[in-house]
């Protein structure tokens, strides 16, 4: 694993959740940490068992049916949040008012009704996440901020019509998050991002960073890296969510955000958590799409608000 220069006090880990889904949002999350030399050593090697028990690959530590670990981390970072919706607002890069603005009024509650939500992580798990948060800080890794960017189904479909696929949306959200955290840090950052699809040359596809002068550090299958004067370095790394602790944490948080929002869609159509679909390309999701067709028609739900166009996967 490449280490950040010691001069780069601020590190970012970024990853996506829901890139290959059929329903529900694409969620991109970035975690910002202030890191000293001890922290660099910690992040560059295998984590101690006491920390590794709560930080790992979200695909192994969480599931559609069990999001407690991601929630526990979010609550440890924002202990004052009184419920899932308040916690989401703390994590949201855009803020709910901006996210809800394009929604047709008669469909808005499909994605934004939160009145029946409750936390699922028990107090012991939240306490454990808080304890690990303190251990990280004592070892030189101080978590400063975590933000998630949500690209809803409608926005993905609009982007597709404009010639941008899901990979462009993923990349551009990563860029926005890095820029937001760079502003928060007040100094250049060293960002590790999960690889976006099969991209090798990211310079061709940058969005928010397109107008910034940059230098290509490397462009290989496993890693593409760029230096932006006044911003820092961005490294797009294959399987980063299995190796970089900050990317792992971003993925855990993002998984919780996506499942929270996907559960709202399920509830709007009368399903409880146990019967809710994952939103991915699986038999349960296919059945959900088929069985809600008439109800969606009665409620005048635009197809573009419910399901991603197939070409979003191109």
Q: Tell me the domain boundaries of the chain.
A: 10-313
Single out the residue of 17, 118, 7 nearest to residue 62, CA to CA.
Answer: 17
d(CA 288, CA 277): 7
**What percentage of the chain exceeds 90 in pLDDT?**
88
Q: Which tens digit of pLDDT belongs to each residue from 187-232? A: 999 999 999 988 889 999 999 999 999 999 999 989 999 999 999 9
Contacts of 237 (CB under 8 A, 6+ apart): 192, 193, 194, 195, 222, 223, 243, 244, 247
Residue with tokens 């202990």: 79
Average pLDDT of the chain is: 94
Class of domain 10-313: alpha beta
- Average pLDDT value for residue range 62-71: 91
Examine the pLDDT at 111 and tell me if it is beyond 80: yes
Examine the pLDDT at 172 and tell me if it is beyond 70: yes
Which pLDDT score is estimated for 63?
84
Which pLDDT score is estimated for 312?
45
Read off the pTM: 0.94
d(CA 214, CA 228): 4
Identify whether the C-beta of residue 14 lies closer than 8 Å to the C-beta of residue 30.
Answer: yes
Residue with tokens 């999001």: 67
Beta bridge partners of 46: none
Please give the C-alpha separations between residue 196 and each of 90, 166, 175, in angstroms, as whole numbers: 26, 10, 12
**b/e map 69-103, b = 16+ CB within 10 Å:** bbbbbbbbbeeebeebbebbeebbbbeeeebeeeb
- Average pLDDT value for residue range 57-82: 92
- Average pLDDT value for residue range 8-37: 96
Q: How many CB atoms lie within 10 A of CB 49?
A: 7
SS3 state of residue 279: coil
Which pLDDT score is estimated for 57?
82
Single out the residue of 206, 194, 190, 179 nearest to residue 236, CA to CA.
Answer: 194
Q: How many CB atoms lie within 10 A of CB 268?
A: 18
């Amino acid at each position: 694993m490449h280490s950040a220069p010691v001069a780069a006090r601020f590190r970012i880990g970024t990853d996506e959740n829901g890139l290959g889904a059929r329903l529900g949002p694409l969620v991109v999350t970035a975690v910002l940490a202030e890191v000293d030399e001890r922290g660099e050593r910690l992040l560059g090697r295998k984590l101690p068992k006491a920390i590794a028990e709560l930080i790992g690959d979200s695909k192994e530590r969480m599931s559609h049916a069990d999001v407690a670990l991601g929630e526990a981390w979010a609550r440890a970072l924002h202990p004052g949040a009184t419920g899932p919706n308040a916690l989401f607002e703390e994590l949201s890069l855009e803020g709910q008012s901006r996210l809800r603005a394009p929604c047709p009024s008669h469909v808005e509650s499909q994605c934004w009704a939160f009145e029946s939500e409750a936390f699922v992580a028990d107090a012991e798990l939240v306490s454990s996440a808080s304890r690990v948060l303190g251990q990280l800080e004592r070892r030189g890794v101080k978590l400063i901020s975590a933000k998630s960017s949500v690209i809803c189904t409608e926005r993905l479909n609009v982007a597709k019509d404009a010639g941008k696929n899901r990979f462009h949306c993923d990349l551009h959200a990563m860029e926005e998050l890095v820029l937001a955290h760079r502003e928060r840090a007040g100094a250049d950052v060293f960002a590790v991002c999960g690889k976006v699809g099969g991209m090798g040359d990211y310079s061709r596809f940058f969005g928010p960073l397109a107008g910034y002068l940059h230098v290509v550090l490397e462009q290989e299958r496993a890693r593409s890296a760029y230096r932006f004067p006044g911003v820092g370095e961005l490294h797009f790394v294959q399987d980063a969510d299995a190796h970089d602790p900050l990317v792992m944490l971003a993925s855990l948080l993002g998984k919780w955000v996506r499942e929270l929002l996907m559960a709202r869609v399920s509830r709007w159509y009368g399903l409880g958590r146990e019967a809710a679909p994952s939103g991915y390309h699986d038999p349960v999701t296919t059945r959900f799409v088929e069985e809600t067709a008439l109800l969606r028609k009665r409620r005048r739900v635009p197809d573009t608000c419910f399901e991603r166009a197939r070409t979003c996967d191109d």
